[in-house]
Amino acid sequence: MTRGLGVPMSTRRRGILRWALVPIVFYVSFVPVPSPAGSTHPLTKSVLIINEVGLLYPAWALVMQHLVSRLSANPDYQVELYISIFHDVVGNQFVNATSALPLVSEATNAPVYGMSDTYLGNGIVGGYVLNFAEQGGIGASVVSQILEGKRARDIPIQRSPGVYMFDWRQLHRWGLSERNLPPGSTVLFREPTFWQRTKWIALTSSLVTLGLLCLILYLLSKQQQLKLARNEQRRLSGMLINAQERERSRLASELHDDFSQRLAVLSLGLETAMEMVSESPQEATRQLQELLNSASEIGADLHTLSHRLHSSTLERLGLVSGVNAFCKEFVARQGIQVLFMHDNAPRSIAPEVALCFFRIVQEGLRNVKKHSGAPRAQVTLEMVDSNLHLSISDEGAGFNVGNLMGREGLGIRSMEERARLIGARFEVDSKPQKGTRIEVWKQLQKQASSEPAEQAIARSAVAGTS
């Protein structure tokens, strides 16, 4: 007795399946496997026994063309069970699954079933089929055992069970419902739905559309911001021109009304002294001394005016000394107490950065005088990590920062613009009746260690004149 692999050929399962899928069936046509010697296959014998419900087409006794013609003439209320065809009566050879089966499937008017999973995809609806991959594994195991010396009679027969497998395309071709398939059936070659075919395209298109929409909104927002910025720039340019003209007018008036008049008085005094030299030398000497004092005062005032326009101390001694000198001058001229503190501020700072910080201190203290009403202010200049930090604060009237755009003054805007030009961060914190704090942060390159005098906190406090 042959040992090894057994292949059950259950016609009962296929019959049950056939009536489950196609309830109204009167005939089953079998296309059997031809035997080389013309003998009848065992399965064919069983079919002949139940031939009251079956028709047998012996492929080896027909030319393939005649077999196809007979199949095309079959009524549509029967089904076909394809076994195999390798040659016809005239010796035409066929590849069973890939050449013979497609011819049968195309010619028939009824669904074709089969017994092998290799037939799926070549024309059969499906059925209770044999899994040839699993059979190959079992066969390989048997061969391996024989090669290892095990006797064939000691190798148990292993049966490879069939599985219910179907071709989705053939089910739809013959109008067979998947609901009638046995539980656990496998359906192959299922065509994706329209959504499955297009979902990635739809999702990609949606993402691209959403991205373009966001880009459009972003560009529109930036365009609106640019428009507002240009309008603000034009407004600020007009305000700056007006401020320059007012400053020029003030300087002209100060030079004309103050220095010109004082120089004229000095000139008249010199003429009078010259006339009195011969008559009263002592009186002439006294007047010359007074004129000398007046000339010294004019020189000092000119120096002060020049310092207000451009501080030479800033260039000669650095930012800390320049700010300290200005704070003392501001106290002397305006009568407001200023506490200046500096901590580890580097002596060597880029000229444009030093000038920017100095101008912000000037403008900030002027704002204290003009708008705050506070009797004192504080200026802090320090290094925080790698950032140069400037802070100007007071406890005066303050204002609403949200209404800053509507204010006509240029003070805050000019400070902010100066900070922006050197790449510094500018912040204003103020609330009505709670004072104002202006802060500027500028990142600097790492400097060499400062002098010992600048390592500690330095304070300069000058009280206002009574």
For residues 418-433, give the mean pLDDT. Answer: 89
How would you classify residue 398: left for phi > 0, otherwise alpha for psi between -120 and 50, otherwise beta?
left
Own/partner pairs for 296-302, CB < 8 Å, 24+ apart?
297/262, 298/259, 298/262, 298/263, 298/266, 301/258, 301/259, 302/259
- Residue 302 pLDDT: 75
Q: Write out the CATH class of domain 311-462.
A: alpha beta
Domains 5-194 and 311-462 in one fold: no
Within 10 angstroms of residue 438's Cβ, the number of other Cβ atoms is 26
Question: Helix crossing, 319-334 with 351-367: angle to 10°?
Answer: 20
- Residue 90 pLDDT: 83
Residues 6+ positions from 244 with CB-CB distance below 8 Å = none
Tell me which of 87-91, 185-189, 194-198, 337-341 is least confident.
Answer: 87-91
Tell me which of 163-172, 224-233, 390-399 is least confident.
Answer: 224-233
Domain chopping of the chain, boundaries:
5-194, 197-309, 311-462
User: Could you tell me the fold of the domain covering 5-194?
Assistant: Rossmann fold (3.40.50)
Q: What is the pLDDT of residues 163-216, one digit of tens each?
A: 899 999 999 999 888 888 888 899 999 988 888 888 999 999 999 999 999 999
Within 10 angstroms of residue 62's Cβ, the number of other Cβ atoms is 18
* pTM, rounded to two decimals: 0.44
Residues 6+ positions from 190 with CB-CB distance below 8 Å = 168
